Structure 1
Amino acid sequence: MRPSSLPAPFRRLAWSNLVAQSAEQVALSAIPIVAVLALGAGEGGAGLLQTALTLPFLLVALPAGVLADRLPRRALMIGAEAARALALLAILALGAAGTLTGPLLAGLGFACACATVVFSVAAPALVPALVPPSRLGTANARIELARTLAFAGGPALGGALVGAAGAVPAFGLAAGLSLAAAVLLVGIREPARPAVARRHPWREVREGAAFALRHPLLRPVLVTQGVFNTAFFLLLTVFVPYAARHLALGATGLGLILGLYGLGMMAGALLAPAILRRLPFGIVVGTGPVAGLAAALVMALTIRLPSPALAGASLFLLGAGPILWVISTTTLRQAVTPPRLLGRVTALSVMTQGARPVGAAVAALVGGLAGAEACLLLAVALFLVQAGVIWASPAVRLAGLPKRTGAPQPASSRPSASRQPCRM
């Protein structure tokens, strides 16, 4: 995919996304490693920490969606990156002073995650304003490829920094990357959008939710995402303490194994354009949930065969297959959603990551009572459910990308207009 095939403002957005995702991944890999190896957190403590890190997806996504449909999306993203940099600098200062505690780490990590949610809602909603409709699939693959580079390098780098020099360098690097992402966004000129009449935020949330939950293609996608995220974080939450104890991995080894998830995402993102050209669109949508189930089964196998190679293969699969899901379902959502609702509908998709604290909380409960092995087996069952949901839906029977009919509605349109069925 040639960079010149996409508009220059989008390329700047893609670079900003790469830098922002790198900041997030360095920080997210460093936080649980510091909690386990420096602050002594076990399965239960790690579960509570991950709950704090993922709860903003449940609490902040919908308000962020309303703001993304009201305000310039570029400005929201700049503010989010600046806020994340401030929270990371606070972690750095506490770590350097030797006063970092579990609750402080969780609280500042919560603030970082709030910024991540705002960025995650605004960025996909901005893409259709920068890219023509015929290039949406290519643009989304490019965005996800940038994200995979961050997933590939961020965890390994964060683990290596913590293992070699402690927490301070890792959080300092993440803060610098967040500031760089904000600077890149300043150079984007966002096309003006029609003025939107201000209404009660709850009415705006309901309007976006009604469209997504009544749509025959978007509804099963949202359900599948919710179950997938629960299972994914159930597995991921217990992985660090499980791998440290059962697989005898240290900080550097943990970072390298976690980095295989990013390498899997990179492989999937690189292959995505060719796969989308050669396979029916619906089959591509269904591939990710099946790959997630296969990954969970491989990870459960390490209970009997405690091999770091098997754990790495599981995380690689967990990245390679679901990245096709992200690219295809993001493109689907952008194609069938009216532009004036895109921020709120994207927010619902991001909100499904609010199932992650549920997975983390379940991991804290089940892991604390029965151990990480029970969590891995429960994850297999949940991955089976999410694969069944999407393969029973009409989404997997799509031969190609459906198109939204009709012109975008003006801002003065009555709310009832958005509730008309979307013909495909």
Structure 2
Amino acid sequence: MSHTPLPHTPLPPAFTRLAAANLAAQSAEQIALAAIPIVAVLGLGAQEGEAGLLQTALTLPFLIAAIPAGLLADRLPRRGLMATAELLRAAALATILVLAVLGQASWPLLAGLGFLSACGTVVFSVAGPALVPALVPPAALGAANARIELARTVAFAGGPALGGALVGWTGAGPAFAVAVALSLAAALALARIAEPPRPAVARRHPWREIREGAAFAVRHPLLRPVLATQVVFNTAFFLLLAAFVPYAARHLRLDAAGIGVVLGLYGFGMMVGALLAPAILRRLPFGRVVGIGPLAGLSASAAVALTIPVPSAGLAGFGLFLLGAGPILWVISTTTLRQAVTPAPLLGRVSGLSVMTQGARPVGAALAALVGGLSGAEACLVLAVVVFALQALLIWTSPAVRLAHLPAGPDHGSDPSSSSSPSRSPSSTSRQPCRM
């Protein structure tokens, strides 16, 4: 079946409010993620081990809170759950602000309050994609997810710089005050969204509901390879990222500013990819867009590894740019795919499972520490190419890349107990592959 470009579908005002809330929430997160370690190290004298524990506290919620957050997102109104998450983040950051002003802050308190703030981030990250299909028509899902990811890339690029600058220029208080204000603004924007009511579903044991969501995703022929690819990608990504800074300083002879510029190209690539995503989704077969990200990740890692025999900051920067631009198309397209094929009563749990794959990132960092300690950063970069090749192989041998169009989804009002397995095979009329 030949591919025809998708028409542009305008996004409704309710989604515009959600996008504004997302921008504010993502900015608050990035400012806090930059300010908390800076305060701990420069203000409180935290050493390497303490800084490592602090980073663990800030990332642990993605591993342990994503699935419970998904369960709550399927049981409770998602708009209210997200607003509550932002208020939790605001309360945690406001407490840090008060402690900083009173001179009572300590790194264990920062770790505990940062953990609570990150829990709010996880809830928002899980419930947000589950809310989007209720606010926009199916034809606009790709554009809507691109808007969400564009906001995330803007916050990713600007939030850490703003947080660091505020702490450096004015102290910790103003940085946390800005983050609190942004979280409160996000909660206010969410309060103005009219979330459509969902059909009531019978409450069952939480563990049974969690297994139900996991079973749907693992058994689905399109979602299963996506999840596997995400796990491998996150491992490879942090394997490369953890090794790059010492490699760039030693092998590429870059100073702190040069390393910052090269790493900044990753965020720039993310913004470019998010800006181009709606047009790419309209013009290319949907499955091809899904496959672009893993191929870009492989190409990016190969470009960075090529700097071993050919030391070049420009080549490394090109690799980091590709690592941002291509995989952001993966995030947008696979989020859209997940929203399209998952019944509404299961969206939160399936979204939570996707967010939990970020728990593979510490595995990649630990692998970099092991391999780098034994054989050097160059070995880490070569190994990253191998792992990126594996994630590309996983998705390009799956039916997901053969989709010509976004699949027609199930009845979003159906009972989840009747949706534990996909109702259509990938070769049905709604999922006809494009001509290769």
Once the 2 structures are TM-superposed, how far is the Cα of residue 167 of structure 1 from its aligned partner?
4.1
Q: Which residue of 2 aligns with 1:142?
A: 147
- 1:230-288: CA deviations, max 9, x gaps? 222333345566667776655x7766554433221110011112211222211111111
Q: Which residue of 2 aligns with 1:319?
A: 324
Equivalent residue for 1:125, pick from 123, 130, 147: 130
Aligned length: 419
CA–CA distance in structure 2, aligned partners of residues 15 and 131 of structure 1:
15
Once the 2 structures are TM-superposed, how far is the Cα of residue 181 of structure 1 from its aligned partner?
1.0
Deviates more, 1:370-379 or 1:126-135: 370-379
Contact 2:343 2:419 in 1 (8 A): no
Once the 2 structures are TM-superposed, how far is the Cα of residue 149 of structure 1 from its aligned partner?
1.6
Equivalent residue for 2:401, pick from 385, 396, 404: 396
Q: Which residue of 2 aligns with 1:86?
A: 91
Q: Which residue of 2 aligns with 1:339?
A: 344
Contact 2:28 2:182 in 1 (8 A): yes
Contact 1:404 1:422 in 2 (8 A): no
- 1:135-154: CA deviations, max 9, x gaps? 11121111112222212222
Q: Which residue of 2 aligns with 1:265?
A: 270
CA–CA distance in structure 2, aligned partners of residues 100 and 305 of structure 1:
47
Query: What amino acid sits opposite 1:382 in the alignment?
Result: V
CA–CA distance in structure 1, aligned partners of residues 9 and 216 of structure 2:
35
SS of structure 2 residue aligned to 1:5: coil
Call closer, same or farther: CA 1:50–1:380 in 2, change over 3 Å: farther
Equivalent residue for 2:361, pick from 356, 360, 369: 356
Deviates more, 1:348-357 or 1:123-132: 348-357
Q: Which residue of 2 aligns with 1:233?
A: 238
- Residue 197 of structure 2 corresponds to residue 195 of structure 1: no
CA RMSD of aligned residues (A): 3.1
SS of structure 1 residue aligned to 2:420: helix
Q: Which residue of 1 aligns with 2:433?
A: none
Q: Which residue of 1 aligns with 2:183?
A: 178
Once the 2 structures are TM-superposed, how far is the Cα of residue 20 of structure 1 from its aligned partner?
0.8
CA–CA distance in structure 1, aligned partners of residues 258 and 77 of structure 2:
42
- Residue 224 of structure 2 corresponds to residue 219 of structure 1: yes
Call closer, same or farther: CA 1:420–1:326 in 2, change over 3 Å: closer
Once the 2 structures are TM-superposed, how far is the Cα of residue 48 of structure 1 from its aligned partner?
4.6
- Residue 301 of structure 2 corresponds to residue 296 of structure 1: yes
Once the 2 structures are TM-superposed, how far is the Cα of residue 125 of structure 1 from its aligned partner?
0.5
Once the 2 structures are TM-superposed, how far is the Cα of residue 6 of structure 1 from its aligned partner?
1.1
- Residue 16 of structure 2 corresponds to residue 6 of structure 1: no
Q: Which residue of 1 aligns with 2:61?
A: 56
Call closer, same or farther: CA 1:284–1:417 in 2, change over 3 Å: closer
Contact 2:198 2:413 in 1 (8 A): no
Contact 1:22 1:150 in 2 (8 A): yes
CA–CA distance in structure 1, aligned partners of residues 134 and 112 of structure 2:
35
Once the 2 structures are TM-superposed, how far is the Cα of residue 319 of structure 1 from its aligned partner?
1.4
CA–CA distance in structure 2, aligned partners of residues 37 and 242 of structure 1:
25
CA–CA distance in structure 2, aligned partners of residues 241 and 108 of structure 1:
30
Deviates more, 1:305-314 or 1:140-149: 305-314
Contact 2:143 2:277 in 1 (8 A): no
Contact 1:155 1:255 in 2 (8 A): no
Deviates more, 1:153-162 or 1:283-292: 153-162
Q: Which residue of 2 aligns with 1:422?
A: 424
SS of structure 1 residue aligned to 2:94: helix
SS of structure 2 residue aligned to 1:418: coil
Query: What amino acid sits opposite 2:420 in the alignment?
Result: S
Q: Which residue of 2 aligns with 1:380?
A: 385
Contact 1:299 1:376 in 2 (8 A): yes
TM-score w.r.t. the length of structure 2 is 0.85
Query: What amino acid sits opposite 2:15 in the alignment?
Result: F
Call closer, same or farther: CA 1:417–1:179 in 2, change over 3 Å: closer
- Structure ID, larger Rg: 2
CA–CA distance in structure 2, aligned partners of residues 53 and 304 of structure 1:
37
Call closer, same or farther: CA 1:203–1:353 in 2, change over 3 Å: same
Once the 2 structures are TM-superposed, how far is the Cα of residue 102 of structure 1 from its aligned partner?
4.4
Once the 2 structures are TM-superposed, how far is the Cα of residue 158 of structure 1 from its aligned partner?
2.7
Q: Which residue of 2 aligns with 1:161?
A: 166
- Residue 275 of structure 2 corresponds to residue 275 of structure 1: no
- 1:169-208: CA deviations, max 9, x gaps? 4333222211211111111111111112110011111111
Contact 1:237 1:363 in 2 (8 A): yes
Deviates more, 1:197-206 or 1:170-179: 170-179
Call closer, same or farther: CA 1:306–1:17 in 2, change over 3 Å: farther
Deviates more, 1:218-227 or 1:279-288: 279-288
Deviates more, 1:273-282 or 1:47-56: 47-56
Query: What amino acid sits opposite 2:12 in the alignment?
Result: P
- 1:318-345: CA deviations, max 9, x gaps? 2111111011111111111111111111
TM-score w.r.t. the length of structure 1 is 0.87
- 1:300-335: CA deviations, max 9, x gaps? 456677766555433322211111101111111111
SS of structure 2 residue aligned to 1:199: coil
Contact 1:18 1:147 in 2 (8 A): yes
SS of structure 2 residue aligned to 1:296: helix
- Structure 2: give runs of 5+ residues left out of the alignment: 1-7, 429-436
Call closer, same or farther: CA 1:308–1:320 in 2, change over 3 Å: same
Query: What amino acid sits opposite 1:78 in the alignment?
Result: A
Identity %: 71
Query: What amino acid sits opposite 1:122 in the alignment?
Result: A
- Structure 1: give runs of 5+ residues left out of the alignment: none
